[in-house]
Amino acid sequence: MKAQDCLNILREIRDVAFATVDEKGKPQVRIIDIMLVEEGKLFFCTARGKNFYRELTESGETAVTGMNKSYQMVRLSGKVSRVKEQREKIDRIFEENPAMKDVYPGDSRYILEAFCIEDGELEFFDLGRSPIFRESFVLGKQGRITKGYRITDQCTGCGVCQNICPQQCIRKGTPCEIAQEHCLHCGLCYENCPVRAVERREL
Amino acid sequence: MKAQDCLNILREIRDVAFATVDEKGKPQVRIIDIMLVEEGKLFFCTARGKNFYRELTESGETAVTGMNKSYQMVRLSGKVSRVKEQREKIDRIFEENPAMKDVYPGDSRYILEAFCIEDGELEFFDLGRSPIFRESFVLGKQGRITKGYRITDQCTGCGVCQNICPQQCIRKGTPCEIAQEHCLHCGLCYENCPVRAVERREL
C-alpha cells in the first residue's frame, strides 16, 4: 500500500466528499467528482460562481474522504492549488469523464476551473477487517501528523488497558504497547489507565 | 419533499461524510454513520478520545453530506449538541445498529457519546435529472440562507444569459429570470451579462 493506491481508491469511488471552511469559519461539505489521478496528484474542478470555488481559493485547504463497497475508507487533507494550463486540463478532464458534457455542454465547460492536491496527509482505513486496520501516508512534501495514543514508561503493566480495549489491540508488557495499525483512537485506555501512563501522540 | 425526507435519505445512505473545523481552523472530514433519525433530529455518535469529538464539542458546528445510488444528494449544516441521556441513547443506537457491537463490544460502548443535529439548513439535489433539481429546507429553528444568483431590473432582456446557461434554466424576459430549482450556481450568467444585471443572492 502506498499513497498512490489511496489516490486510486478515491478516483474509483469518484463521488467523494470535499470539506472546506467558509468565510465565517464554518465547515462546508459537498460531493465532488475526482476527475483525474496522475503524476501523483489528484485533480477535480468546480465552477467559478460557486461558493466552493470561493472557499478553495480563499483558504487554499481542503479535506477529502470516500468509502468503497468493501468498507475501505481514505481521507486526504492538504493544500489546493489552481492548475496552470486551465483550458488544456479542463479538456482533458472532459475527455476522461464524458458525462461532464451533459452538465456543461459546449463552451460552458470553461466556467469550470481545475484544481489539484499534491501535498497532504493520507489515511487509509479498512473497516471490513476485525480488528480494523489503518495506515497513514504522506502525499508530496507535507509532513505526517502523528495521531492517537501511546503508552509511556509510567506504565506498571497492570493490564487494565488491554482488557478494556474494544479492538484488543494492546500488547501486555511493561510498558504495554498499542498496535497503532488497529487502534480506533477511542480513548478508553487513556481514560482508564490507573497511573495515567497513556498520552495523546499528537501534541 | 420535506426536511424530514432529507434526513431519511441521509439515514438510508448511512455512511455519510461529516465535516468539521479543527483547532487550527482547517477543514476535516470523516465517514460517520447516521445512527437514528427521530423526533425530526439526526443522531450520530463518536468516541471521546477522537479528534472528531474534540472538534464537535469545541466548535459546535458540523456539515454532513451523502449521495444515494439514484444520484440524490443531501447536504445538512448546523449546530451539534450532546444528547442529555447518554447511556439510554447509546443503548438505543446499539439496538437499532447491531453491527456496532462488533466494533465496541460489552461496556466499551460507553466511550461513545451521542450527538444530534436539530437546527440547520438542508439542501436536496437530484443530479439524476436533467436539468438538475435542487431545493432547500430549514431544520428546526435555523433560518435559511439564500444562495446562487438573481437577475435584477437592470436587465435589458438581451438573452445572452439564456443562451449561455449550461442547464438552460433562464427564462427570457425583461428582466430574465433564473429557475432557481434548476440552477448549478456556476456563475456563467453572472460573468457574461453585458450590463452586469446578475447579482449573487447571498450577500
Residue of A nearest to B64 (CA): A29
Would you say B16 and B67 are in contact if contact means Cβ atoms under 8 Å apart?
A: no
Would you say A13 and A68 are in contact if contact means Cβ atoms under 8 Å apart?
A: yes
3-state SS track over B42-110:
EEEEEECCCHHHHHHHHHCEEEEEEECCCCEEEEEEEEEEECCCHHHHHHHHHHHCCCHHHHCCHHHHH
Q: Where are the domains of chain B?
A: 3-139, 149-200
Contact A187 B67 (CB under 8 A): no
Q: Do domains A3-139 and A149-200 have the same CATH topology?
A: no
Nearest-CA distance A44 → chain B (Å): 15
Contact B162/A at CB under 8 A: no
Please give the single-letter amino acid code of residue A145: I
- What grid cell was written down for B194? 453585458
Length of chain B equals: 203
Mean pLDDT score across all residues of chain A: 95
Nearest-CA distance B106 → chain A (Å): 8
Contact A188 B108 (CB under 8 A): yes
Q: What is the DSSP code string of A30-94?
A: EEEE--EEETTEEEEEEETTSHHHHHHHHH-EEEEEEE-TTSEEEEEEEEEEE-SSHHHHHHHHH
Q: Taking CB atoms and an 8 Å cut-off, how many pairs form between chains A and B?
A: 165
Contact B54/A at CB under 8 A: no
Contact A164 B15 (CB under 8 A): no
Contact B187/A at CB under 8 A: yes
Residues of chain A contacting B111 with CB distance shorter than 8 Å = 166, 186-188, 191
Asked if the A3-139 domain carries CATH number 2.30.110.10, the reply is yes
pLDDT at A44 (0 to 100) = 98
Q: How far, in Å, CA of B184 to CA of A157, rounded? A: 59
Nearest 5°: phi and psi at B161?
-65, -40
Residues of chain A contacting B184 with CB distance shorter than 8 Å = 47, 50, 103
Region for B49 from its dihedrals, namely left if φ exceeds 0, alpha if ψ lies in -120 to 50, beta otherwise? alpha
Contact A132/B at CB under 8 A: yes
Residue B185 burial by Cβ neighbours in a 10 Å radius (0-12, 13-18, 19+): buried
Contact A44/B at CB under 8 A: no
Contact A27 B130 (CB under 8 A): no
Residue numbers of A between 96 and 125 with CB closer than 8 Å to B: 102-105, 108, 111-112
Instruction: Kindly give, in sequence order, each residue whose CB lies less than 8 Å from that of residue A142, ignoring residues fewer than 6 positions away.
Output: A78, A79, A119, A120, A121
- What grid cell was written down for A131? 480488528
Residue of A nearest to B104 (CA): A166
Would you say A106 and A157 are in contact if contact means Cβ atoms under 8 Å apart?
A: no
Q: Point out which residues pair with A63 in neighbouring strands.
A: A19, A77
Please give the single-letter amino acid code of residue B159: G
The DSSP symbol for B23 reads T
Residue B177 burial by Cβ neighbours in a 10 Å radius (0-12, 13-18, 19+): middle
Residues of chain A contacting B70 with CB distance shorter than 8 Å = none
What is the pLDDT tens value at each position of chain B, 203 positions in all? 899 999 999 999 999 999 999 999 999 999 999 999 998 999 999 999 999 999 999 999 999 999 999 999 999 999 999 999 999 999 999 999 999 999 999 999 999 999 999 999 999 999 998 889 999 999 988 666 689 999 999 999 999 999 999 999 999 999 999 999 999 999 999 999 999 999 999 75
User: Tell me, what's the ipTM?
Assistant: 0.94
CATH fold label, A149-200: Alpha-Beta Plaits (3.30.70)
| Mean pLDDT confidence for A99-109 | 95
| Mean pLDDT confidence for A22-44 | 96
Nearest-CA distance A124 → chain B (Å): 11
pLDDT at B4 (0 to 100) = 94
